[in-house]
Structure 1
Amino acid sequence: MRRLFIALPFLLLAGLILFFAVKGNKENYAVVKEEEVKTLVYGSGYAKAENYVVVKAEVSGYIERLLVKEGDFVSKGQPLAIIDTKTIDASIKEVSERLNLVRERLKEGSAYLKSLENALESSKINMENNKRLLERRERLFSQGLIPKEVYEQSKTQYEVSQKEYERLKNTYQDAITSLRSEERVLLAERERLTKEREKYVIRSPIEGHVLKKFVNPGDYINHLSQENRLFSIGSKGWEVWLEVDEEYAGMLREGQRVILRVDAYPNERFEGKVFQVIREVDRNRKLITVKVQAELPENLPNGSTVDGQIEVERKRAILIPASVYQEGYVLLYDGMRRVKVPVKVGRRYGEYLEVIEGLRPGDKVIVP
């Protein structure tokens, strides 16, 4: 893939000539001119939507309806599809019914609480009666009017009724606490299920076009499966990912201009700008990735093949035909004779050499 281009823009325009080959006084010479030159690095890759997502289901179920088709433009949060909600609706209904029952029992004067309160009240009355009986027999026993066994029997009877009252009081309090706790649990469960139900409406996470749909109504989606794909969505903006030979990594910079050719539009050229150079080499292929922001057609298919020429250098240079340079010298024509002039040359641009020192624009050099 190692492709480095030297672009001489003036040679690409009809009628514009860098060197004028002139034959006069039996001498062929070229007029040296200063021109703009560009160094271009080639890369190939593909175009992808600036924001690209594959929409997946967060819950399992059967696809009930699709609300969009391929090519549609969708806004962020717009519904794309609906998964059947019969199962979760049944769960929400069951929890709601249990919650209503608990709240009904917690209402003041409910039959449930009334039964607990009546049992507690009866136990309290029984305990108080046993207490009065014990107090009376305690006085009689102290006066020696009743035997000890009768007194002890009353004492035991009171203690039993007292424990029963405490038990029923705790039962009443535990029942209230348990109902309130169950109410909180059921309320949280209903809220969880209601929120979970929102996931059965599949929404677009970004604004963009529906690139592809992967499901049809009636399909079953397992949200834990690797096949969990519903739609792909791409935003309006484009990125181009170009692969470039690693030997040119040192020449690449953010902000460099890129000329792009897209297979889908072979007769058009598009312009972009480098916004990121991935500084990691694919060791198997010896390539690096360059990301380019570009203005490409809105209806371009995602993943389209793209070739690019990255402008890594642009400057003005004095050029001479490579054929006139001989071991550090050129023959300069001053209008009358040949003069051997030492020159220092730089980079080669195709059939031309850059002159660093020794010549000026307008000089005439002998063409062999």
Structure 2
Amino acid sequence: MDRVIEKKKWPPKKIMTYVGVALLVTLILASYFSTNGNSKLNVDEQKITISEIRKGSFQEFIPINGVVMPIKTIYLDAIEGGRVEDLFVEDGAMLEKDQPIMKLANTDLELDLANRETAVFDLITNMQRLRSEAEQNSIRQLNQLAEVDNALAEAERLYTMNKKLFDEKVIAEQEYKSSKNMYDFQVRRKKLTEQTLRNDSVSTKQRLRQMQESVDRTQVALNLMRKKADDLTVKAPVAGQLTSLNAEIGESKTRGQRLGQLDVLSGFKVRADIDEHYISRIFAGLKGMFTFAGKDYELSIKKIYTQVTDGRFQVDMEFTGEVPNGIRRGQTLQIRLALSDQTQAVLLPRGGFYQQTGGNWIYKLNEAGESATKVDIRLGRQNPEYYEVMEGLQPGDKVVTSSYENYGDKDELRIKNSE
């Protein structure tokens, strides 16, 4: 006998199908709500940094490192090349002006100096001989002129007397003309003798002048050569401390080679490196502060070196007031270089949040401090301690300023106390 089998309303296969569909829908909804809408994340209060917004004095500045240097450094270069013959002082010695530092030997220069001295001596000797010969020649010509004057006077006497006698018809015309011719001859002879004496005098003076000019030029060259020889003894141009001495006895030095440097210790300056990003904002007169032995000191930019090397350029700064006691050459100072005057502003402490937000938004805590939600902000100037808040936050607000690296794009942070 056949038995009627009742059909089940919810077979297991059908139930499993509905359960699978329900789970799939649940996963889809969970995924949707986890990526959209007001997503939240629990964070430990001990692992975040909460800062309070406040209003206070703000000044834009950048931190730079400066090295203390002497107010003036003079480089010692070899004016003439030579072999180091003697060292009179050691590196680090305090020197007075014109104090010898080292002596170089240069045989070629010394031989040239000796030859020039000999040439000058020969010129002076020749000039003295010419002057002596000129004086003797002048004496001879003066004696000759005296003889000519005497002969002229005698011829004039005889001519005058014969002319008178000829007029009285006492002597013959021949005797008269003979005395007249002799007189005229002596007159012409005197004129020629005087002309010769004048010409010899002018010629002698010209030769002596030319020789004196030659002696003077040779003397100048000799003095320069002597100065070059004196330069073989390197001396301190000013009083100061000798540093970076680079010479050993027996070592050869070429002309222009650096031998050392002299630091003038009457004062100090600070040379600092600055990122090229700020080159357009740096000018002479900008102030900087640094702390030394618990006291603040002020510096002012004196000179700007606009050449950029490895993304940085240099400036020289001088003390505007008191120089710290105990400061030393080569010491490094941490300087706060001001780029603006002090003003009142809403201040946001710097933190790691900026790397993820770019300063466009921040997590702001509610009044209870239990959660923090995203708020849009706009920042202005900045210094190593604070950002200037232009919009989005008010004094008294509390924000999360630590890094947001692990927060993803969560809209809200649930702050939990782990204690």
TM range (shorter): 0.5 to 0.7
- Please tell me the residue identity of whatever aligns with 1:54: Y
Q: Is the 8 A contact 1:246 1:288 kept in 2?
A: yes
Q: Is the 8 A contact 1:256 1:273 kept in 2?
A: yes
* Displacement of 1:122: 1.9
SS of equivalent to 1:247: helix
Q: Return the alpha-carbon distance in structure 1 between the equivalents of residues 50 and 63 of structure 2.
A: 35
Q: Return the alpha-carbon distance in structure 1 between the equivalents of residues 384 and 250 of structure 2.
A: 63
Match of 1:210 in 2: 242
Match of 1:256 in 2: 287
* Displacement of 1:353: 6.0
* Displacement of 1:132: 3.1
**Farther-moved stretch of structure 1 (88-97 vs 157-166):** 88-97
Q: Return the alpha-carbon distance in structure 1 between the equivalents of residues 360 and 181 of structure 2.
A: 137
Q: Deviations over 1:157-194 (max 9, x none)?
A: 65245413432354356546755775687478657745
More strand by share: 1
Match of 1:247 in 2: 277
Match of 1:289 in 2: 314
More helix by share: 2
Higher relative contact order (CA 8 A, sep 6+): 2
Q: Return the alpha-carbon distance in structure 1 between the equivalents of residues 220 and 375 of structure 2.
A: 88
Match of 2:73 in 1: 52
Q: Return the alpha-carbon distance in structure 2 between the equivalents of residues 94 and 326 of structure 1.
A: 86
- Please tell me the residue identity of whatever aligns with 1:207: A
Q: Return the alpha-carbon distance in structure 1 between the equivalents of residues 315 and 52 of structure 2.
A: 40
* Displacement of 1:30: 6.1
Q: Number of aligned residue pairs: give it.
A: 321
* Displacement of 1:57: 4.8
Change in Cα spacing, 1:114 to 1:349, as seen in structure 2 (3 Å) is: closer
What TM-score results when the alignment is normalised by the length of structure 1? 0.58
Q: Where do 1:1-368 residues align within 5 Å?
A: 32=53, 41=62, 49-58=70-79, 65-82=86-103, 88=113, 91=116, 95=120, 115-135=136-156, 136-137=158-159, 140=162, 144-146=173-175, 152=181, 155-156=184-185, 158-160=187-189, 162-172=191-201, 175=204, 179=208, 186=215, 190=219, 193-194=222-223, 197-198=226-227, 200-201=230-231, 202-215=234-247, 225=255, 227-236=256-265, 237-253=267-283, 254-257=285-288, 273-276=299-302, 278=304, 280=306, 282=308, 287-293=312-318, 298=328, 300=330, 310-312=336-338, 317-319=346-348, 330-333=364-367, 345-347=378-380, 354-356=388-390, 358-361=393-396, 368=414
Q: Is the 8 A contact 1:242 1:308 kept in 2?
A: no
Change in Cα spacing, 1:251 to 1:309, as seen in structure 2 (3 Å) is: farther
What are structure 1's unaligned runs of at least 5 residues?
1-20, 261-269
Match of 1:6 in 2: none
* Displacement of 1:124: 1.5
* Displacement of 1:123: 0.8
What are structure 2's unaligned runs of at least 5 residues?
1-43, 167-171, 401-412, 415-419
Q: Is the 8 A contact 1:47 1:238 kept in 2?
A: yes
Q: Could you tell me the percent identity over the aligned residues?
A: 14
- Please tell me the residue identity of whatever aligns with 1:249: I
State the superposition RMSD in angstroms.
Answer: 5.5
Q: Return the alpha-carbon distance in structure 2 between the equivalents of residues 119 and 156 of structure 1.
A: 21
